[in-house]
Amino acid sequence: MQLSDKLRTALVWEDDENYETFQEEKYTNEFIFCLFKYFALGGGLCQFDNNITEYLETVKSTYKDLIAVAKDADTGEIKPLTHVFRIGSVKGAEYLKCQEHP
């Protein structure tokens, strides 16, 4: 993985001075942050972009497509209807397991 900018370095490299900024539980447990991290870091075919706006717009659009919300009739609060799960492994499908990769 190419860590050629401060954002990617801060998201991945534990020795970076900004690493702790993104490791707080309030960020790491949020689905939108996980999407952002996946888009920013990518994989072997990641298309590098110097403009963070492209990542933010893509994450926002994807998030809106994946999450449904509704107004609670009793309280008037906007609440999510969608449940998001992170699957670490599937019993009986050990061949799918791989080392955790950001």
Distance CA 82, CA 24 (A): 23
Name the strand (E) or helix (H) holding 80.
Answer: strand 78-80
pLDDT tens for each residue of 36-52: 888 888 766 666 777 88
- Among 35, 55, 39, 40, smallest CA distance to 3 is for 40
C-alpha 2 chain-centroid distance:
18
pLDDT of residue 41: 83
pTM over 0.85: no
Beta bridge partners of 80: 69
Type of residue found at 8? R
CA distance 74 to 53: 37
